[in-house]
Amino acid sequence: MDDAHLISQLSELLGAENVLTSADLMAAHLADWRGRYRGTAICIARPASTAAVAAVVRVCGRARVAMVPQGGNTSLCGAATPGPVGRSVVISLSRLKRVRAIDPANNTMTVEAGCVLQALQEAAAGAGRLFPLALAAEGSCQIGGNLSTNAGGVQVLRYGNARELTLGLEVVLPSGEIWNGLRGLRKDNTGYDLKHLFIGAEGTLGIITAAVLKLFPLPRAKATGWLAIASPAMAVRLLGELQGRFGPALSACELVSGKALDLVRKHIPGAHPALPASSWHLLVELSTGGDDADLREALTSFLGAALDQSMIDDALLAQSGEQARRLWVLRESIGEAQKSEGLSIKHDVSLPISRIPEFVERADQALSRAFPEIRIVTFGHIGDGNLHYNQSKSGAGENATFLAAQPEVNRLVHDLVHELGGSISAEHGIGQLKRAELLRYKSPIEIEMMRAIKRTLDPLGLMNPGKLL
């Protein structure tokens, strides 16, 4: 089947207006958010239902054309961008955006893959419930992509990542068949839990079209504080103290380096003016079903004792929801601030929490020796051991050249992560960026098991080729 015939068949299925072929309309779908990858495609197909997705997959399968599922296109590893060569169709899920059902008694919501994450948070809140997945791109990322990369975010510490927030899935398989696993059950011991094959698979085994997600009681009280601290070692100590004092009420604990905060202040308007100066910071949040004033008083008492014991150097406690929001804007704007400085070498790693201080110290030293004048921007979810550990040069114009050093930088960082029992990808996935790295750090038997699953479900290798494996 030639390209013109394929476009004609897809247009008959979806309507010509939902099969994009012009360069200007396709452009945004062919480049990744960071600007590192740019691909080619025959067209962009925009189905509006699971049945339509299945029909598109069947047409592409018959034509032996690769398929690239795409949500909000916010991937940091090029997972949703087609390759630069070959024949492919980008299948955009953006029109699958219905909230099919909310069941407050069962604490679940059934949603389609194209729903924007922030819209789901708002829909849950409208039903008096919390959907806790929260991350910086929540205003544009879509839940299908979140599930395909097993997104984490700032509240994994309390609620878990996307995998733990999912009870059931609906998936279009590479054959064009639809697997309906939309069950809102917390106990279902009837064999293999198939949904876990597709969560984190980056669209290489099938296309997630809908999901049953867990909801939680909506917290009535929150207390948010910004802490100036001496080191990552002190951050780990404070995390333990906070967990011991507040237990599951601790919903977020975020580490931010002084260099990361400096970038936000430089590039993001309205950065909070009253924060204490420090080399390291912690952003902590408590949430309960109680009273705001009582929770703030409890956090104030804890911080006072921590200050007396020299565990913190200073602290700012939000006195209103708006003040808390402004503190979170600082944390969530780090990626955008980095982007303003040009390309950077990004690492999304996880480590045993106890090894984070050693990793930061040893990696900083090794990189500074190898690359004089390197700027290391460190931040992340210390509560679950996930660090975003990024490198660039202080002069924005130098970063395109510095990117050529990525293999050497990766070797220093990833070898140390592996030595300390960590993972080279915590929540961003593998995509195109880390395929070679995956082969270095996964055992041969793990790689072969993954390839065997891929061969079984996608024998023609048409589903998002060039990603993950």
The whole-number average pLDDT for the span 102-119 is: 98
Residue 395 forms part of a structural domain: yes
Q: Which of 197, 200, 165, 194 is nearest to 181 (CA)?
A: 194
Least confident of 104-108, 155-159, 455-459: 155-159
Domain boundary among 335, 364, 395: 335
Residue 394's pLDDT is: 75
Q: Please report, for the domain that includes residue 241, its CATH number.
A: 3.30.70.2190
Asked if 191 and 250 sit in the same domain, the reply is: no
pLDDT in tens, 179-188: 999 999 999 9
Beta strand extents in 307-430 (DSSP E only): 314-317, 348-350, 374-381, 386-393
Mean pLDDT of 182-196: 96
Domain final residue pick, 34, 64, 92: 92
Residues contacting 125, CB < 8 A, separation 6+ = 218
> What is the pLDDT at residue 273?
61
Residues 208 and 225 in one domain: no
Residue 455 falls inside a structural domain: no
The CA R_g of the chain, rounded to the nearest whole Å, is: 23
Nearest-angstrom CA–CA distance, 328 and 270: 12
Instruction: Evaluate whether residue 353 is within a structural domain.
Output: yes
199 and 113 in a single domain? The answer is: yes
pTM for this one?
Answer: 0.91
Coil vs helix vs strand at 83: coil
Q: Residue 75: is its pLDDT beyond 90?
A: no
Is the pLDDT score of 205 beyond 70?
Answer: yes
Q: What integer pLDDT is reported at residue 55 of this predicted model?
A: 98
Same-domain pairing of 290 and 354: no
The pLDDT value given to residue 383: 92
pLDDT band at 310 (very low <50, low <70, confident <90, very high): very high
What contacts 24+ positions apart, CB below 8 Å, involve 356-362?
356/232, 356/235, 356/236, 356/382, 356/385, 356/387, 357/231, 357/232, 357/233, 357/236, 358/420, 359/387, 359/416, 359/417, 359/420, 359/422, 360/232, 360/387, 360/389, 361/232, 362/416
pLDDT at 335: 87
Q: Are residues 326 and 388 in the same domain?
A: no
Pair 68, 89: CB distance under 8 Å: yes
The larger pLDDT score, comparing residue 231 to residue 85, is at: 231
User: 212 with 106, same domain?
Assistant: yes
Instruction: Quote the percentage of the chain above a pLDDT of 90.
Output: 83
130 inside domain: yes
Which residues, listed in sequence order, are joined to residue 222 by a DSSP beta bridge? 287
Whole-number pLDDT of residue 398: 74
For the four alpha carbons of 406, 409, 415 and 417, in that order, the dihedral sign comes to: negative
377 and 399 co-located in one domain: yes
Tell me what pLDDT residue 444 has.
95
Identify any residues that bridge with 14 across adjacent strands, giving them in sequence order.
Answer: none
The alpha-helical segments, DSSP class H, found in 94-249 are 117-126, 143-148, 156-159, 195-198, 232-246
Let me know if residue 465 belongs to a domain: no
Averaged pLDDT, 110-121? 97
DSSP annotation of 219: P
Q: What is the pLDDT of residue 397?
A: 65
3-state secondary structure at position 349: strand
pLDDT in tens, 403-445: 889 999 999 999 999 999 999 999 888 999 899 999 999 999 9
Asked whether the predicted pLDDT for residue 355 surpasses 70, the reply is: yes
Beta bridge partners, 180, equal 170
Asked if residue 133 and residue 84 are part of one domain, the reply reads no
**Binning pLDDT at 50, 70 and 90, where does residue 402 land?**
confident
What is the CATH classification number for the domain harbouring 346? 3.30.70.2740
State how many domains the chain has: 4
Q: What pLDDT, in 10s, does the model give residues 215-226?
A: 999 999 999 999
Structural domain for 150, as ranges: 99-216
In this predicted structure, which of 248-252, 260-264, 335-339, 441-445 has the lowest mean pLDDT? 335-339
CATH number, domain containing residue 13:
3.30.43.10
Same domain, yes or no: 132 and 209: yes
Residue that finishes a domain, picked among 58, 92, 126:
92
Q: How does pLDDT run across 383-401, given as a tens digit for each residue?
A: 999 999 999 887 766 777 8
Closest by Cα among 101, 24, 33 to 71:
33
Residue 82, φ and ψ in degrees, nearest 5:
-65, 160
Across all residues in the chain, what is the average pLDDT? Answer: 94
Residues 196 and 227 in one domain: no
More confident residue, 373 or 209: 209
Query: 19 vs 45, 230, 235, CA distance in Å?
Result: 5, 55, 50
468 within some domain: no
Alpha-carbon gap, residue 223 to 225, rounded angstroms: 7
Looking at the fold, whether 42 and 123 belong to one and the same domain comes out as: no
Task: State residue 272's pLDDT score.
Answer: 66
